[in-house]
Structure 1
Amino acid sequence: MGVLRMGHASVRVMDIDAAVRHYENVLGLKTVMTDKAGNVYLKCWDEWDKYSLILTPSDRAGLNHVAYKVQDDADLDALQKRIEAWGTKTTMLAEGALPSTGRMLQFDLPSGHEMRLYAMKEYVGTDVGTTNPDPWPDGIRGAGAHWLDHCLLMCEMNPPEGINTVQDNTRFMKECLDFFLTEQVLVGPNADMQAATWMTRTSTPHDIAFVGGPVSGLHHIAFFLDSWHDVLKAADVMAKNKVRIDVAPTRHGITRGETIYFFDPSGNRNETFAGLGYLAQPDRPVTTWSEDRLGSGIFYHTGELVSSFTDVYT
């Protein structure tokens, strides 16, 4: 029983046509359908379910919800009982509430972010198939992202008022959804306050991350690439397409990932992420970063924080 992986993200965009061009031409996703409300559904070439990104027209940017896929439909009922016993209200959405998707368990994290769990989404296959596949398909556009990898959510944190939804989210994910902690940043006079956490259900360093901020929001959604070379190529693609880059190619100390951060036309931050970093396992010791080494944790090469990285999000 339990969560398998990140399934999709639904994000708001202010110019749907510009957003579609960005995700198709820069990241290499392809549009699979558009619904009557004008929402656009896209997938990466190495994903087998029908879509992993939903773009919804809006007058403001940000996250509608993030969804994770569970193993079996019966898991939804078991997890609903566990989540409601924890004190969180849930709603079971009927099959078809989203196109090509089975019923979904809907609830809010302690930080206020909407999360959904589902077991079924229409299978369409990867672009290279499952019989004698090539390592990549012909006609890859842009950065050629393999799959939607993870998200990072900004969570309200105000210690003087006793608010720390990073810590609350972390406990919820562990106790209700069986995620385990891989890395954390501890701050405060006793160095015992979680200001950021990275959690996973798979063997990668993180399937979701939480970082404290003045208000809750979306920090970024991340797409997986093979290698450092591919991260550099992605930066070239962004330069050719005049994409606003937030942080040029570098390495994280946290997760050991190779990365570049940039914005879609509406201001939603994206990441292309390479390198599995390490084998994440439930019995692996948690990596802890101290407040004085946070710069190296985020940007290992310079050891210095970039103000926009923590101050700007949707």
Structure 2
Amino acid sequence: MMDIAHLGPAELLTPAFDESLRFFVDVMGMEVEAQQGGSAYLRAWGDYQRHSLKLTASETSGLAVLGLRASSPEALERRVALVEATGLGAGWHDGDVGRGPSYRFRDPDGHAFDLYYETERYSPPEHLRPSLKNQPQRYTGRGCAVKRLDHCNVLAEDVRANRMFATEALGYRLYERIELDDGTEAGAWMSVTIAAHELIYTADAYGARGRLHHLAFWVDTREECLRAADIFLDNDVHIEAAPSKHAIAQGFFLYGYEPGGNRIEVTTGGYLQYDPDPVTVVWTEEERRLGQAWRVKTVETFHTYGTPPVAGT
């Protein structure tokens, strides 16, 4: 078993808190599990933990911190020691709603992460109690009805340095990457599970540091992803890229901007990596010019837009 089990809750910043909250509840179909201070804690219907998204009012947009759950107390200790050896650790804090003591650190680009093990499993109220005991919550069918947090893509000034930190200090496996003609690494798709990707680094077009590309939430079928596009349209959500299929990782996608400005993906599909020693797939600059899996040209903003915004862009 890997020392890191999976992505934990992500904290997303928004300068339009009420509108963003309404988006995640009514459009994405998530439940408010708790509210504290200027934050709301939201869950998808398939989350076994109390929440997977913390939405926090802020003067700007972006990702505040990304949680990583360790697979055991011993695994947590091992990874904390490895992170501390890099000099990028910030120290322990008491945790957050539904989560025990957490170790805060930053990657070489400045993105904040929390390593933790102790967590509360979700106990639904009566109106959300499912019929099946192996399902954490009733399926409500509201909005896109997303099932879980699937992956996070963060932008980086130096993809290679951050990818090496993730593989060496955190134990991620590198499944796919992009290498440009000049040898620059422009993207890295990594996972600690058989999922095709959970943590992604892609190059920041402005050479900025610590920014978010997108958070992705899972639905079970392509039809749900297509339906999500109709729901986005009906709710005046800006659709950046209509449903199609990625070449890298082969996931089906829909991209839009929530009211705070953060890019959100509704996703499904993709392959599962059962090979315990996979050969990393390397994509060339020429191959990436072909666009997505069905040769659909990638929209320009997908390469340039991130949060928080860069001054002057």
Is residue 2:305 matched to residue 1:312?
yes
Taking the TM superposition and a 5 Å limit, the aligned residue runs for 1:23-42 are 23-35=24-36, 37-42=37-42
**Displacement of 1:284:** 1.9
Structure 2 CA distance for aligned equivalents of residues 185 and 8 of structure 1: 27
Q: Which runs of 5+ in 2 are unaligned?
A: 308-313
Aligned-residue identity in percent: 27
Q: 1:130 to 1:181 in 2, by over 3 A?
A: farther
Contact 1:80 1:90 in 2 (8 A): no
Structure 2 CA distance for aligned equivalents of residues 134 and 88 of structure 1: 38
User: Which consecutive aligned stretches of 4+ in structure 1 deviate over 6 angstroms post-superposition?
Assistant: none
**Displacement of 1:133:** 5.2
Deviates more, 1:2-11 or 1:69-78: 69-78
Is residue 2:161 matched to residue 1:152?
no
Contact 2:6 2:68 in 1 (8 A): yes
Q: Compute the TM-score of the two structures, normalised by the length of structure 2.
A: 0.90
Structure 2 CA distance for aligned equivalents of residues 288 and 128 of structure 1: 45
**Displacement of 1:88:** 2.1
- Residue 219 (structure 1) aligns with: 213
Q: Which runs of 5+ in 1 are unaligned?
A: 157-164
Deviates more, 1:251-260 or 1:64-73: 64-73
Contact 1:295 1:303 in 2 (8 A): no
Structure 1 CA distance for aligned equivalents of residues 18 and 238 of structure 2: 17
Taking the TM superposition and a 5 Å limit, the aligned residue runs for 1:110-125 are 110-125=108-123
**Displacement of 1:76:** 2.5
- Residue 210 (structure 1) aligns with: 201
Taking the TM superposition and a 5 Å limit, the aligned residue runs for 1:1-314 are 2-35=3-36, 37-94=37-94, 97-125=95-123, 129=130, 131-132=132-133, 137-156=138-157, 165-189=158-182, 192-213=183-204, 214-216=207-209, 217-296=211-290, 299-314=292-307
Question: What is the letter of the counterpart of residue 196 of structure 1?
Answer: G
Question: What is the letter of the counterpart of residue 140 of structure 1?
Answer: G
- Say what the alpha-carbon RMSD is for the aligned residues: 1.9
Contact 1:223 1:272 in 2 (8 A): yes
Structure 1 CA distance for aligned equivalents of residues 222 and 132 of structure 2: 28
State the SS of the aligned residue for 1:205: coil
Structure 1 CA distance for aligned equivalents of residues 292 and 54 of structure 2: 30
Question: What is the letter of the counterpart of residue 51 of structure 1?
Answer: H
Question: What is the letter of the counterpart of residue 182 of structure 1?
Answer: Y
State the SS of the aligned residue for 2:138: coil
Contact 2:49 2:98 in 1 (8 A): no
Aligned residues: 300
Q: Compute the TM-score of the two structures, normalised by the length of structure 1.
A: 0.90
- Residue 311 (structure 2) aligns with: none
- Residue 160 (structure 1) aligns with: none
State the SS of the aligned residue for 2:289: helix
State the SS of the aligned residue for 1:254: coil
